[in-house]
């Protein structure tokens, strides 16, 4: 019986030490825990999660909070742990524009995301600097997320965005001058 008590005691100690390690290392067991910790560390939120999308290195978490929108990156690490990525800070939605958006990159991974302020919009078109066009016509409530990966360490930046109504009329356009 004495041996069994030692095993139970040591197991409890190991479990406690494991959770202390997780808390101090910035590792999380589930992606939403990492997302919530990311928001708390930035004194932002709590936001409403609208959509979660997988990518090679983790997850994008598309969110709304009050008048702001954000797309947090949560990275997978050490096989099954999750770590805070980037972009927890939101951008305020400009209601004077049909689409409020931003884009960002991390390594070879790019994303353009935003919120649609005009309910006539049925399709978003993102143009890349190499001429490729990425289209999204299914939205997440009133939000969109367009992602791409640049091949072979080349840079394929965002070049512009267009939003169309159901008759393919342009409702919003913002094209960068490359």
3-35: pLDDT as tens digits: 899 999 999 999 999 888 877 788 899 999 999
Q: Give the per-residue pLDDT at 87.
A: 67
pTM confidence score: 0.85
> Tokens 């997850």, residue?
59
Q: Give the per-residue pLDDT at 41.
A: 82
Q: Please count the CA atoms within 13 angstroms of the CA of 39 that sit on its side-chain side.
A: 22
Q: In the chain, where are the structural domains located?
A: 1-63+72-87, 93-178
Q: Give the per-residue pLDDT at 178.
A: 53
* Fold annotation for 93-178: Immunoglobulin-like (2.60.40)
How many secondary structure helices (H) and strands (E) does the chain include? 2, 13
8 A C-beta contact, residue 65 and residue 143: no
What the block records as the tokens of 177 is 């001058």
> Tokens 């524009």, residue?
97
CA 49 vs CA 54, 103, 140: distances in Å: 14, 18, 10
What the block records as the tokens of 93 is 């939605």
> Tokens 């954000």, residue?
70
8 A C-beta contact, residue 105 and residue 146: no
User: Following CA atoms 78, 75, 49, 119 in sequence, which dihedral angle do they give, to the nearest 10 degrees?
Assistant: -150
Low-confidence ranges of the chain (pLDDT < 70): 1, 87, 177-178
DSSP run (H or E) holding 34: helix 31-41
What distance in Å separates the CA atoms of residue 22 and residue 105, rounded to the nearest whole number?
27
């Amino acid at each position: 019986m004495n041996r069994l008590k030692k095993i139970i005691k040591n197991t409890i100690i190991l479990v406690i030490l494991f959770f202390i390690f997780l808390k101090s290392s910035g590792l999380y067991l589930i992606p939403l825990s990492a997302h919530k910790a990311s928001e708390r560390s930035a004194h932002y939120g709590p936001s409403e999660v609208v959509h979660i999308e997988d990518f090679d290195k983790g997850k994008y978490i598309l969110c709304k909070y009050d008048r702001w929108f954000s797309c947090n990156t949560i990275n997978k690490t050490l096989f099954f742990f999750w770590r805070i990525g980037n972009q927890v800070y939101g951008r305020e939605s400009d209601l004077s524009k049909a689409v409020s958006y931003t884009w960002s990159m991390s390594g070879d991974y790019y994303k353009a995301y935003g919120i649609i302020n005009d309910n006539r919009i049925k399709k978003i078109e993102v143009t890349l600097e190499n001429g490729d066009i990425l289209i999204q016509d299914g939205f997440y409530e009133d939000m969109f997320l367009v992602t791409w990966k640049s091949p072979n360490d080349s840079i394929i930046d965002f070049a512009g965005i267009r939003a169309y109504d159901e008759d393919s009329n342009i409702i919003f356009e913002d094209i960068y001058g490359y």
